[in-house]
Amino acid sequence: MTNLAGRLAKSVSKLGVKASYGDPVELNGITVIPVALVQFGFGAGSNAGQEDSDDVEGGGGGGGFSIPVGAYIRDIHGLRFEPNLITLLAVGVPFVWVAGRAGARIIKALKR
């Protein structure tokens, strides 16, 4: 079973940059290259080698996610990165909330 996880991890690692950058798309002289944050994870295990078990049982699993962070745009003005504003808001709002809560607690602690 652990060999399966190793093989899966090896096949996913071959994706490399292809997993983070999409194929370029050209529209009316403008080239768009999508960019994403991609992460994969795999695991496996078994009870082989345990003294109290005659049966070898095991399991495994894996998963991943992709977050679209923006796109590189190439046009007559050159190459630039355009961020995905929805992703920035999705990440930024919780960050600002946590930072605000932490700041309030620090100020409250310093007043004592």
Q: How far apart are CA 34 and CA 103, in angstroms?
A: 36
Q: How far apart are CA 108 and CA 112, in angstroms?
A: 7
At 61-73, the pLDDT tens digits run 777 788 888 999 9
Question: Residue 92 domain-assigned?
Answer: no
Question: Residue 106 domain-assigned?
Answer: no
Question: Residue 57 domain-assigned?
Answer: yes
The yes-or-no verdict on residue 2 having pLDDT over 60 is no
Domain boundaries, position 59: 2-84
Question: Residue 75 domain-assigned?
Answer: yes
Tally the domains of the chain. 1
pTM check: above 0.85: no
Question: Residue 43 domain-assigned?
Answer: yes
At 43-96, the pLDDT tens digits run 777 776 666 656 667 777 777 788 888 999 999 999 999 999 888 888 788 889
Residue 73: name the closest of 7, 28, 37, 13 by CA.
28
Q: Which residues pair with 68 in a beta bridge?
A: 36
Question: Residue 8 domain-assigned?
Answer: yes
Indicate the pLDDT class of residue 37, thresholds 50, 70 and 90.
confident
